[in-house]
Amino acid sequence: MSIIVTKFGGTSLATSERVRAAAERLVAYHNEGKQVVAVVSAMGAATDELLALAKSVNPSPPARELDMLLATGEQVSMSVVAMAVEALGVPAMSLTGRQAGILTSKAHNKATISELKCDRVQKALDGGHIVIVAGFQGTTLEGELTTLGRGGSDTSAVALAAALAADVCEIYSDVDGIYTCDPRVVPRAHKLDEVSYEEMLELAAAGSGVLQMRAIEFARNFKVKLHCRSAFSSANGTLVKEETMEQAVVSGIAFDKSEAKVTIRNVPDALGIAGELFGAIATANINVDMIVQNISEHGHTDISFTVPIGDLTKIKTVLDGLLDKLGIREYVVDDTIAKVSIVGAGMKSNPGIAAKMFTVLAKNGVNISMISTSAIRISVVIDEPSVESAVLALHTAFGLDADEVFEETQLSDEELAAKAKKGR
């Protein structure tokens, strides 16, 4: 019997009405003869509310207890969705992460899935139940409750889909698929019918927030076909799978305003300096994205790198502590930058894409301050105020413009509010 795994995000379950709508979808699949699993996130803003409650009694809540608390959000969702399914006359069974056999590492708040023991899920499916699993949570072998970190429900869903050999893993959210670019910035952006795992990974890394990176990696490693679609419409969304029919030179354009650029001037060009510098930064748990080192002059060089704006205080502490040790005289921080990336699997076989990108930007008066590339992505750092003109020009130049103009008015007020809140 064919198995389908679905995942519903918090916005898709924010009200009783939406819970009922989700239940109707599940029942429809059940009535088509499919075995149906739903992985659910916490309803609406539940996780944020629980976090606020924690902070009200302890400014730095211990990781283990935070997991115990946050896991209740998904436990509420799963039972409410199960009740809504039962109200439609179909047997349902909710399962916690532990009951669903989701075994994880011991790292509270950021556990990784180590193994899935799906006998109980499979037994419930074989018994005719729609199975609702709490996303985002699991258990250690010792019976300790863990959570997978923000966005972890996507990973729960993909892992279950892999373990159950599901036909597809449908990710329902408040966006209706993967777009060539954010339609609020590029009105002629269009929805992609399909995109490869590699492209999706690069888009996610470049700032497109639709799917969590770990989930995409999991899907790629276990060849789980993903379908990103809207919980508010029955239209098809975007398929994420191994090979796409046509390999577009550029599939999508992503931008990211959440990073700052740090430039260290006149670093002595000695062996081991870069290792020591980025080692210290990694130890402070700061995630460095792009790194560029300029040509050495007179035994000294400039090193630039980007970090999340939220980590600027931490990075300053690290660098101030290293100044003397590494012979660094000064560093400059710029938080008015943005990263623009073009991604496409077809780049591999099409030389000259980078040159074309730089030319387009130059013609539009956009100055490039950093460049980094992978096999299927080119990213540049530019001034933040230039982002809009840059992505509009690139979108047109790489032939991504749709005939129709995206109308925000097609969306409901709630969808717009949800988009505005979480970014796209």
Segment lying near a copy of itself (by CB under 8 A), choices 80-88, 186-194, 216-224, 268-276: 80-88
Burial of 53 (0-12, 13-18, 19+ CB in 10 A): exposed
- Say if CB 349 and CB 375 are below 8 A apart: no
Amino acid at site 102: I
Quick one: 89 or 275, whose CB is closer to a copy of itself? 89
3-state secondary structure of 187: coil
Using CB under 8 A, pick the residue from 51, 75, 90, 209 that binds a copy of itself.
75
**Residue of 312, 317, 314, 318 lying closest to 334 (CA atoms):** 312
Quick one: 12 or 341, whose CB is closer to a copy of itself? 12
| Residue 246 neighbours by CB under 8 Å, 6+ apart | none
For the record, the structure tokens of 66 come out as 């935070």
* Per-residue contact string for residues 30-69; x = within reach of a copy of itself by CB under 8 A: --------------------x--xx-xxxx-xx-xxx-xx
Q: Does 359 bind a copy of itself (CB under 8 A)?
A: no
Q: Does 90 bind a copy of itself (CB under 8 A)?
A: no
Q: Does 290 bind a copy of itself (CB under 8 A)?
A: no
For the record, the structure tokens of 139 come out as 């258990």
Q: Does 143 bind a copy of itself (CB under 8 A)?
A: yes
In the complex, the smallest distance separating the C-beta of residue 43 from a copy of itself, rounded to whole angstroms, is 9
Distance CA 267, CA 300 (A): 5
Using CB under 8 A, pick the residue from 4, 5, 36, 71 that binds a copy of itself.
71
- Say if CB 35 and CB 99 are below 8 A apart: no
Q: Does 82 bind a copy of itself (CB under 8 A)?
A: yes
Q: Does 332 bind a copy of itself (CB under 8 A)?
A: no
Quick one: 72 or 369, whose CB is closer to a copy of itself? 72
Among left, alpha and beta (phi > 0; psi -120 to 50; other), residue 151 is: left
Quick one: 78 or 192, whose CB is closer to a copy of itself? 78
- The sign of the torsion formed by the CA atoms of 346, 352, 357, 363 equals negative
Using CB under 8 A, pick the residue from 72, 258, 263, 266 that binds a copy of itself.
72
- Say what angle helices 152-163 and 213-222 make with each other, to 10 degrees: 10
In the complex, the smallest distance separating the C-beta of residue 54 from a copy of itself, rounded to whole angstroms, is 6
Distance CA 232, CA 18 (A): 9
Segment lying near a copy of itself (by CB under 8 A), choices 28-36, 72-80, 215-223, 355-363: 72-80
Please give the residue ranges that form the binding site for a copy of itself (CB under 8 A).
16, 19-20, 23, 50, 53-54, 56-59, 61-62, 64-66, 68-69, 71-72, 75-76, 78-80, 82-84, 86-87, 92-94, 96, 99, 143, 145
